[in-house]
Amino acid sequence: MKPLEDSYKHKSLRKKLVQTILSKGIRDERVLTAIDLIPRHFFLDNALDEHAYQDKAMPIGNGQTISQPYTVAYQTHHLEVAKGMKVLEIGTGSGYQGCILCALGAQLYTVERLPELLPRAAAMFSKFGFNPQIKIGDGSLGWPEMAPFDRIIVTAAAPGLGKSLWEQLRPGGIILLPMGNKVQIMNKIRKTHDGQPIRETLDSFRFVPLIGSEGYSE
């Protein structure tokens, strides 16, 4: 990761945020280190700078949000990413979740529906020296040309497990996605080597909806 001229700003607040996430049960040292390394205030407008290290979602424009840091840590922990894994992210957003995954050594492919969000996210990846593959498109359909993936993370509320994403997951892989309408249940689904799903239901969260052909209608 590139050394950043402003990376020490709010360093004490980042340390407190890590302690907050730790107190909520995330004890994965690799995830906590990544949260500490990636300055969240870079991803927000200057007017929100002082709020960047509060453990809550924040607006990024176009009706979208940067997820609560605990949610990012929670999803990252349950995704079980190892260095070099090919990871598909549905919903690039601000680029914050993607940068955390890149900091863990993921080979990241990320899809965003709203083209207005991508220039800033792309600038963030470049700022940290990361080089993921980025695509504008219907995230509910995944990225079939680049499949299969070791891990798939969906950062928006899905009505269910779509056929396209499931088919793009490598046998032995994990897909993590929140399902439901007003409140979502995080689902962690492993694909067995013979293509069968093993589902684990986790905690409840709130996400913006996944809009697309295999998501919700706009």
Coil, helix or strand at residue 146: helix
Helices (H), the chain: 11-23, 29-37, 69-79, 96-103, 118-127, 163-168
217 among known catalytic residues: no
8 Å CB contact between 165 and 142 = yes
Judge if the upstream peptide bond of residue 148 is cis by omega within 30 degrees of 0. Answer: yes
8 Å CB contact between 121 and 92 = yes
φ/ψ of residue 189, rounded to 5: -120, 120
Residue in 7, 67, 140, 204 annotated catalytic: 67
Phi-psi region of 104 (alpha: psi -120 to 50; beta: other; left: phi over 0): alpha
Rounded Cα distance, 120 and 188, in Å: 30
Rounded Cα distance, 102 and 43, in Å: 15
Active-site positions?
67
